[in-house]
Amino acid sequence: MNKEAKKIGVYVCSGCGIGQNLDIDALQSAASENNDISISRVHSFLCQKKYCEIIHNDIIDKELHSIVIAACSPRVKTKEFSFDPSIVVERVNLREQVIWCNPPNDEDTQMLAEDYLRMGVAKALIIEQPEPFISSTLNSDILVVGGGISGITSAIESAKAGYRVVIVEKEAQAGGWSSRLLKQVPYSDPFGTLQDPIIHEKIKELQSFKNITLLTSSEIKEISGQPGEFSVSILNKNTIMEYMVASIILATGWEPYNATNLKEFGYSMHADVVTNVELEEMAKSGKIVRPSNGQDVQSVLFIQCAGSRDKKHLPYCSAFCCATSLKQAKYIRNFSTETKVFVVYKDIRMPGKLEYFYKEIQKDEQIFLTKGTVSEITEENNQLLVTVKDTLIDEVINIKVDLVVLATGMTPRNSEDLNLTYRQGKGLPGLKYNFPDSHFICFPYETRRTGIYAAGAIRAPGTISACIEDATGAALKAIQCIESTKRGESVHPRSGDISSPELYMQRCTDCKRCTEECPFGAYDETEKGTPLPNPYRCRSCGICMGSCPERIISFKDFSINAVSSMIKAVHIPDEFEEKPRILAFVCENDAYPAFDMAGINHLQYSAYIRIIPVRCIGSVNKVWISDALSQGFDGILQIGCKPGDDYQCHYIHGSELTETRGENIQETLQTMMLEPERIRTEFIEINEFNRIPEMIEDYLETIEEIGPNPFKDM
């Protein structure tokens, strides 16, 4: 629908102090300055039920297409201000980001409020309500890759929820690592004694479900498609089987760290230095002896963190080795009452209630534990001499032992076993330490491939109990994905969003930027390089929209045009008024809420700033920057979430992209003969709202130094 035909209603709330701090009449007339407003109302209590009914009636009576609510932050009162789903509702944030952070009845505050309202109206005139895309070929089955404890748990949990599951296992028997254990570290109260591995029960349970198909001796040959309609071909003992599934759980688990790298602990140099995996094999076979001569062991020393939490090897903690070593210490003590067991650790780490197990093990006076660093292992008289420094005993100690056990950590298996036909590769992109998990606090199980969820040791190293918990969580995510896809909604983090990018293909130059930069591999490619969107893989972040030099990618409710018109709606005072204008693109995920928090805390910052919320800082298109500069803005701030492993961008690398795209933008500035300082990128965490006033002041100083934008009034 074109802009002129749109009927729009503007509702200004004068409650919460807005009326006392702003000139509401002037505000109302600003809204209708250049636009034909069908109805404009002011009320001191807009969000009350009675008044929302009036708005609702207006929508029907006046046949409105869009309404603008100028009141509080769009993050609050969402339920009150939700009307007919076909109606565009644009919220203008007069409370948190205008009156709560600026002096009352001030000229600049008033200008800020008027600009925001004009921007809101401009946007409301352009955007439209999206409609969900619902494919006719969607199904509800789940594919589980890997038949270890995690895969089996995921399959059982999904089947319990009523979904059909296909579970693929490479080996001839399901069970994985945990079926090769003699005993398991305690997993239920009172967490004191070793228990039989839970996997055997789980396998039995798995076999009792009719809606689970277990394919052993099988491998994934190829996976193509998108959530709701993945097409999978499985190589099962020389025959190819085809399945259609809606989501995938990747639970291929771990491999032990290659101990031959651990020269410092004498592995492969002394026969009596073994790994925890090798000791487990010995215990399972019924006899723990010295590999060198087959004799019984009188004393054993465990080296914890062998290669773990060590920058030279694995920088992380594998979370299972401490408990496993104590379990194996118990094996050894059970085999022989005479044997002494020493455990040298960096820190003993006992996740959850395993602390009780640790305490129980400590009760044995023939198990000796100390913090320490093993500095040397030598062989003498057919025994191993271990030198340990930095011990709790506060001196360098020497211990003579028959066997040394290296507690080595877990490394994730290669996710390329999935054999995806995605343009961005066969596997899942590795994140921190090459585990394919996206963010371990905020978005567990989410990988960078929508509809594919990682569970168990491939997601993060851990104990069997952790894997079971993990697998259950991943099953839940897989189910969520299936159901969201059926409704045409995107999954985390924009859960429930029905918008998806629309490409105006006639103008596409096949530059491949969108297909390369999409963090989720949503675009496949023709041989020529033309993007082929897969809407169900999309998370609606808009990074492709930011990447497109031809500006052909937009969403119905978030478009190149809409933001450009918001930029153009701002009144830029001329140079002589000495009122600079800063445009801030603010990420909706962390930075925008941080601005709201600053308002809630009544932190005061300059009224020269104009904020435009964006889905991700990576969705900022270069054209908006040139629009803003030619409009006369003196500077542009891009405020995104913190990049990096520990505090991730919600779309994984949107923030980082903003930095790398900076080069292109500098070129734009050069062609416009402008200073590079006119654009600054900042990263902020949600709890860093205290930094906002300082951040803005600092940038304003820089802008004052370099002077006003020469394009003003041109």
Partner 1 sequence: MSFIEPDIDFIKHLKKDCGSVLTTCMQCGSCTAVCDLSPENNPFPRKEMIWASWGLKDKLLGDPDIWLCHQCGDCSATCPRDIRPGDVIASLRNYCYQYYAKPHFLGIIMQKPAFLPLIIGFPVVIISLILILAGTFKIPDGPVIYSKFFPHGLLNISFLLLVLASFSGFVIGLKQYWKNLKHSTTVVKPNGTLLPGFFSVLSTILTHKNFRFCTTNRYRYWAHFGVFWGFVMLLAVTFYAILATLFFEYPMAFWNPVKILGNLAGLFLLIGCSIMIWQRIFDSEKRTNSNYSDWFFIISLFLLTASGLIIEIARLQNWSYAYHLYFIHLVLVWMVIMYIPYTKFAHFVYRTIAMTYSKYLGRI
What is the contact surface with partner 1 in residues (CB under 8 A)?
Answer: 340, 348, 358-359, 362-371, 385, 392-394, 397-400
Nearer to partner 1, 398 or 495 (CB): 398
Provide the minimum distance between the beta carbon of 185 and partner 1 in the complex, in angstroms, as a whole number: 18
Question: Which residue, 399 or 562, has its beta carbon nearer to partner 1?
Answer: 399
Q: Which is nearer to partner 1, 194 or 471 (CB)?
A: 194
Q: Give the integer Cα–Cα distance in Å for 321 and 329.
A: 12
Closest distance between partner 1 and the C-beta of residue 381, in Å?
Answer: 12
**Residue 82, amino acid:** S
Smaller CB separation from partner 1, 119 or 369: 369
Q: Could you write out the DSSP letters of every residue in 457-476?
A: GGTS---HHHHHHHHHHHHH
Q: Smallest distance from the beta carbon of 339 to partner 1, in angstroms?
A: 11
User: Least Å distance between CB 405 and partner 1?
Assistant: 18
Q: Least separation, in Å, of the C-beta of 377 and partner 1?
A: 14
Name the strand (E) or helix (H) holding 592: helix 591-600
CB of 187 to partner 1, least distance (A): 21
Q: Pick the closer one to partner 1 by CB: 47 or 297.
A: 297
Specify the residue, 375 or 421, whose C-beta has the smaller distance to partner 1: 375
Question: Distance between CA 617 and CA 591 in Å, rounded?
Answer: 10
Q: Are 206 and 212 in contact (CB under 8 A)?
A: yes
- What is the Cα–Cα distance from 175 to 207, expressed in whole angstroms? 12
Nearer to partner 1, 260 or 381 (CB): 381
CB of 367 to partner 1, least distance (A): 8
346 or 371, CB closer to partner 1? 371
d(CA 29, CA 11): 12
Dist. CA 200–CA 204, nearest whole Å: 6
Point out which residues pair with 401 in neighbouring strands.
Answer: 384
CB 365, min distance to partner 1, A: 4
Q: How far apart are CA 23 and CA 20, in angstroms?
A: 8
Largest CA distance in the chain: 99
Minimum CB separation of residue 310 from partner 1 in Å reads 22
- The residue whose two tokens read 């965490």 is 685
Residue with Cβ nearer partner 1 (370 or 606)? 370
Q: How many CA atoms lie within 13 A of 64 on its CB side?
A: 30
- C-beta closer to partner 1: residue 89 or 348: 348
| Cα dihedral 297/301/306/310 (nearest 10) | -170
**Nearest to partner 1 of 7, 346 (CB atom):** 346
| Placement of tokens 């709560």 in the chain | 100
Q: Which is nearer to partner 1, 213 or 366 (CB)?
A: 366
The residue count of the chain comes to 714
H/E stretch holding 338: none
C-alpha distances in Å from residue 114, one per residue of 73, 107, 229: 16, 11, 48
Judged by DSSP in three states, 412 sits in strand
User: What's the CA gap between 469 and 467, in Å, rounded?
Assistant: 5
Tokens linked to 130: 């999206």
Smallest separation, CB 363 to partner 1 (Å): 5
CA angle 121, 126, 132 (to 5 degrees): 120
- The least CB distance from residue 271 to partner 1, in Å, is 21
CA-to-CA distance for 639 and 387, rounded, in angstroms?
53
Cβ distance to partner 1 smaller for residue 368 or 440: 368
Q: How far is CA 549 from the centre of its chain?
A: 26
- In whole angstroms, the minimum distance from the beta carbon of 398 to partner 1 comes to 5
Pairing of strands 340-345, 299-303: parallel
Q: How far is the CB of 359 from partner 1 (least distance, A)?
A: 5
Q: What angle do CA 680, 683, 688 make, to 5 degrees?
A: 125
Give the residue among 252, 622, 22, 4 at the shortest CA–CA distance from 12: 22
Pick between residue 154 and residue 299 the one whose CB is nearest to partner 1: 299
Q: How far is the CB of 376 from partner 1 (least distance, A)?
A: 11
Q: Following DSSP, what letter does each residue of 539-562 receive, concatenated?
A: ----HHHHH-TT--EEBTTB-HHH
d(CA 480, CA 711): 50
17 near 99, Cβ under 8 Å? Answer: yes
Q: DSSP readout, 22-74?
A: S-HHHHHHHHTSSS--SEEEEES-TTSHHHHHHHHHHHHHTT-SEEEEEES-T
How many angstroms separate the CA atoms of 223 and 524, rounded? 13
Two tokens, residue 574 = 């001329």
Q: And the tokens for 492?
A: 């985390």
- Assign 445 to helix, strand or coil: coil
Work out how close the CB of 358 gets to partner 1 at its nearest, in angstroms, rounded to a whole number: 8
Q: How far is the CB of 279 from partner 1 (least distance, A)?
A: 22
The distance of closest approach from Cβ of residue 232 to partner 1 in the complex, given in angstroms and rounded to an integer, is 49
Q: Which is nearer to partner 1, 94 or 386 (CB)?
A: 386
Contact assessment for residue 470 and residue 456, using Cβ atoms and an 8 Å cutoff: yes
What's the 3-state SS for 123-160? HHHHCCCCCCCCCCCCCCCEEEECCCHHHHHHHHHHHH
Contact 463, 456 (CB under 8 A): no
Residue 371 or 426: which CB sits closer to partner 1?
A: 371
When the beta carbons of 283 and 323 are compared against partner 1, the nearer one is 323
